[in-house]
């Protein structure tokens, strides 16, 4: 028999970027613990729409913890209380019966509000545009084994390439720093031979763009590492800072 729980939801509601926002409270009664938090919001929205009210806006796409689209604060924690988990993979079984969950959007200068739990995260895209790529013209695709990459080197590069750009690291940092995001992108390319020709330019350009976008600096409180759904190590931030001195 499926276990059910009842939850209180205290959700930040804001109709537009210019409109004042505030929390509104809702109840979900006897919902399955096998629902994800996003699925619980779907049920709430069905009820609101049926009553002629505006549904709660939140971002989502794959709902498999891969795309990085979803993301908001759950009781003050980015993506909620379960480590290495995105909001779409956070299930109601993680909460006790009768609990009240406070849901609010990422809070950062570089992430201006759009509506309810949705914020504008295009600043992360602009950081990638500043240098998060390889632009060297290689002509036709080279033979796959022409440029050998060691197993440990490839594994380390892949560990940083798993960043999904969700923005949790920014939202959880008291300085709203994007250092872990930028460090992951730099380390991904900077560890591979294909990334070497533009390595210095890339590091300087992305870090300059981070400042220009209004992201704060890193003060090593390590909250970014704690909330990262891909468990990317904050040690890469130190690696990034050394890159800028090359």
Instruction: For the chain, list the domains and their CATH numbers.
Output: 4-104 (3.10.20.30), 122-243 (1.10.1060.10)
- Least confident range from 22-31, 138-147, 156-165, 206-215: namely 138-147
Nearest of 23, 30, 22, 27 to residue 8 by alpha carbon = 27
- Least confident range from 66-75, 138-147, 177-186, 223-232: namely 138-147
pLDDT classification of 136: cutoffs 50, 70, 90: confident
- How far apart CA 9 and CA 104 sit, in angstroms, is 11
Partnered with residue 208 across adjacent β-strands are none
pLDDT classification of 117: cutoffs 50, 70, 90: very high
Neighbour count for residue 229 (Cβ, 10 Å): 27
Query: Quick one: residue 84, left, alpha or beta (phi over 0 = left, psi -120 to 50 = alpha)?
Result: left
DSSP the chain: ---EEEEEEEEEE-SSSSS--EEEEEEEEEEETTSBHHHHHHHHHHHHHHTT-PPPP---SSSSSSS-----EETTEET-SSTT--GGG-BGGGS-TT-EEEEE---BTTB-EEETTEE--HHHHHHHHHHSS------SPPPTTSS---HHHHHHHHHHHT-----HHHHHSTT-B-HHHHHHHHHHHHTSGGGSTTHHHHHHHHHHHHHHTT-B------HHHHH-TT---THHHHHHHHHTT-
226-239, pLDDT tens digit by residue? 999 999 999 999 99
Mean pLDDT, the chain, rounded, equals 95
- How far apart CA 230 and CA 64 sit, in angstroms, is 13
pLDDT classification of 243: cutoffs 50, 70, 90: confident
Burial class (CB in 10 A: 0-12, 13-18, 19+), 51: exposed
């Amino acid at each position: 028999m499926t276990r059910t729980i009842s939850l209180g939801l205290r959700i930040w509601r804001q109709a537009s970027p210019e409109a004042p926002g505030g929390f509104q409270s809702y109840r979900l009664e006897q919902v399955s613990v096998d629902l994800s938090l996003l699925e619980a919001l779907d049920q709430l929205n069905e009820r609101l729409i049926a009553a002629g009210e505006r549904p709660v806006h939140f971002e989502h796409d794959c709902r498999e913890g891969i795309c990085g689209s979803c993301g908001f604060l759950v009781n003050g924690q980015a993506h909620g209380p379960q480590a290495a988990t995105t909001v779409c993979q956070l299930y109601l079984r993680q909460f006790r019966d009768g609990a009240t969950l406070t849901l609010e959007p990422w809070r950062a200068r570089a992430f201006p509000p759009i509506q309810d739990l949705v914020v504008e995260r295009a600043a992360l895209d602009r950081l990638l545009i500043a240098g998060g790529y390889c632009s060297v013209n290689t002509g036709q695709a080279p033979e796959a084994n022409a440029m050998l990459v060691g197993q440990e080197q490839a594994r380390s590069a892949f560990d940083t390439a798993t960043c999904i750009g969700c923005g949790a690291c920014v939202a959880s940092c008291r300085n709203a720093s994007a250092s872990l995001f930028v460090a992951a992108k730099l380390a991904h390319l900077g560890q591979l031979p294909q990334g070497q020709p533009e390595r210095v330019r890339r590091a300087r350009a992305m870090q300059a763009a981070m400042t220009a976008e209004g992201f704060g600096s890193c003060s090593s409180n390590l909250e970014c590492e704690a909330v990262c759904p891909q468990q990317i190590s904050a040690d890469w931030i130190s690696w990034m800072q050394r890159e800028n001195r090359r």
